[in-house]
Each structure stands twice: as structure tokens, then as C-alpha cells.
Structure 1
């Protein structure tokens, strides 16, 4: 079951980003810089990750 999880970490600030990007970061559960969360590997989460991929560090959990 661990293969369908993604571990993400916010490595760049959301300051100065458009509202859609800030909303994607919050929707993924990230609250502040260097905060890490594990989310399910679903098409919805993959879409949000792809929108803000330059701000995230991503690894398969």
C-alpha cells in the first residue's frame, strides 16, 4: 500500500505566486516552507503537484 503514496516538501515560498498556485499548495496540505506531507497518488493530487512542481521536492513514499 505504500507504493501509492507520494511524499512532498515545500522548498520555495508561495509569496508572490498567483492565487491558483497558493491554493494548490494549501490543497496538498503544505502550510509553510520545509513542511513535508505524504499524500495519496491520485490524479487530483498529481494535477496539483504538476501545477507547482517547481516549488516542491517530490519522492515516492
Structure 2
């Protein structure tokens, strides 16, 4: 009896079918040095605490 019970458990699940769509290959993005520096935040203003605890631009 146990084998029949285990066999009926898989009734509600669908088997995966292979997709008919072809996978599209993505081209790697080429970034310039200035783009990379901008993404890393190198050219951003820097701030430090001055007298009285206020932030001041350096």
C-alpha cells in the first residue's frame, strides 16, 4: 500500500519542459576609465567636520 500512496503524491506537479526560446547572448559592456571612476565616486566632493560640528567641503 505504501508504494501506491507515494506514487500519487506527484500528481499535482508539472514536469519542466525545455523552453523553445533560444537564449540570447548578452554582449559585455565596455566602460571607459572616466565611467568607472564616476561609478566608484572618485570625483565627488569630500566633507569634514569643522569647528562647531558643521560639515565643511574640503
Bigger Rg, structure 1 or 2: 2
With a CA cutoff of 8 Å and minimum separation of 6, indicate the structure with the bigger relative contact order. Answer: 1
Q: Which has the higher strand share?
A: 1
Structures share a fold, TM > 0.5? Answer: no
